[in-house]
Structure 1
Amino acid sequence: MRGLPMVVRDARMPERVTIYEVGPRDGLQNEPEVVPLEVKAELVRRLVAAGLPVVEATSFVHPRWVPQLADAAELVELLRGEDESLEHPVLVPNERGLDRALAAGCTHVAVFASATETFAAKNLNSTVADQMTMFGPVVERALAAGATVRAYVSMCFGDPWEGPVDPDVVVRVGRRLLDLGATQLSLGDTIGVATPAQVGDLVARFAAAGIDVDRLAMHFHDTYGQALANVHAALLAGVTTFDASAGGLGGCPYAESATGNLATEDLVWMLTGLGIEHGVDLDAVVATTAWMAEQLGKPPASAVARALIG
């Protein structure tokens, strides 16, 4: 390794942030070759050992739609058997997915909504309005079972079919999910087209709608190389939770232009340089990225991994 960045603290920034690791779920879901169960479990183990406080493990989506995650129940059982104190969030697309997640003992679940009509139709076979009818019982039953619920909103900044997205629609969708009972709202730049001013504007609109910024998380993709600039804008706006994927793995099986997620190690490097606490071991994340790249047979996508691995 070649050391860490020089630290220059920016007093406008939060003192600490949470990195919400999505690599095992969002990172692997679009891989064409099925990753063995034990490799998925080892990826989760390594990420936890690297100090990541939240590692989203998998999704209880129907195997027909995402074959890569067909082993969701087996993965959760394996991980819980190793350490019952660790509770990894899982995605549940509908009530059937929730049933499977609860049966597996999951207590942290997430639902996945859309801010645009086309993506709602392609991803959920629904409309922007009707998706809430589907999610309502999911959230209600999850809460009744003692689970916490996170909500993702996709296509918050741009849609490959519809173009620019009305930020007020994003706020309405997000508010509805929070009103249903979600504790946190992750705003997704699913195709990576956002720019910093857009990010600041959207956070400001949520604040104007009376939604505490502490309830927001940001989920950036790096399609156009803007992810870290967008993180910087979100930090200035007071956001303290960021989704990321080790090695920049990821995409969306329903949107071909959705390339890799913001890489965890790229985020850690920048946060470290800003003097923001995060609790994550950069060397361990980079080593995990290098290991996972070997498993997948392709080089890591992240700039920091390429620089440090050599």
Structure 2
Amino acid sequence: MRIIRFKYNDEDSILAALTDENKVYRLPYTDFMNLVNEAENQKVTTLFLVENVIATSLPIKESIDELSLLVPIIAPEVWASGVTYEKSRDARKYESTGGKTDVITCYDKVYDADRPEIFFKSTAARTIGPNDAVHIRSDSNWQIPEPELGLVINKDGKILGYTIGNDMSSRDIEGENPLYLPQAKIWKNSCSIGPVIRLAETVEDPYNLQITCQIYRDNQKVVEGTANTKQLKRKYSELIGYLIKDNKIFDGTVLLTGTCIVPPNEFTLQDGDRIEIEISGIGILKNDVKLPAPKEQLVGKIE
């Protein structure tokens, strides 16, 4: 069972259930956390509550492809995990050493360390949903998407559901100096999540999810990569444990778990590209790529 949000006529947003048969049922809740909290109040699972609604209602006439989907949850914060896959370690090492293999870097060390890399990625105002445009930085010449499984968690770190995340990254900025990581990761529209939240109780094995990323330019596929969450070095509980250790997080926080798909080193995103990230059992997150107009690149601009 998957949960979506969409815009419908004059209503701001609708929360709905999307079945595995791709039928859409409206839910009488304001947002995802409202649904989860009501299930807890009734001492039932979120799935049980959703199935009860479906049992006494009819699906809407529109198909999922006809809906104007919104970000499935307005996450107060998005955090991310780094160097959790071997491919990510190798890519970070390449960009920071110019391709040298005989140098031990901070990325080699964190890959083998007890403590994982956890960093702040985005706020609700910087996070977009399906079919909106991710932005590329005007001061970077080497930018890529990072397809990742996202964990939707509550303030105690419990996994409520799974979604797809795109952790946009400026490889040249981080490669120049690891201390530039916030600038390599955080800017307007630098994070997308969606198109759905798959309820945690409906995922049989979260360590066996197939991830595919395709990038199109002028309607031609220029990059394709695949991975599986079974390649993840760390457990989700381990990543969450370090995130919430001596830290306050909020209901509906999203934790991205790292990427194992990295485009070729000579590739960089361009204005007008299209990114499609698919995770089995969840869906496809689609975003166009945009280089903001000069007026949108004002240094220090406050939204």
Give TM-score scaled by structure 1 length.
0.23
Between structures 1 and 2, the one with greater strand share? 2
Q: TM-score normalized by structure 2?
A: 0.23
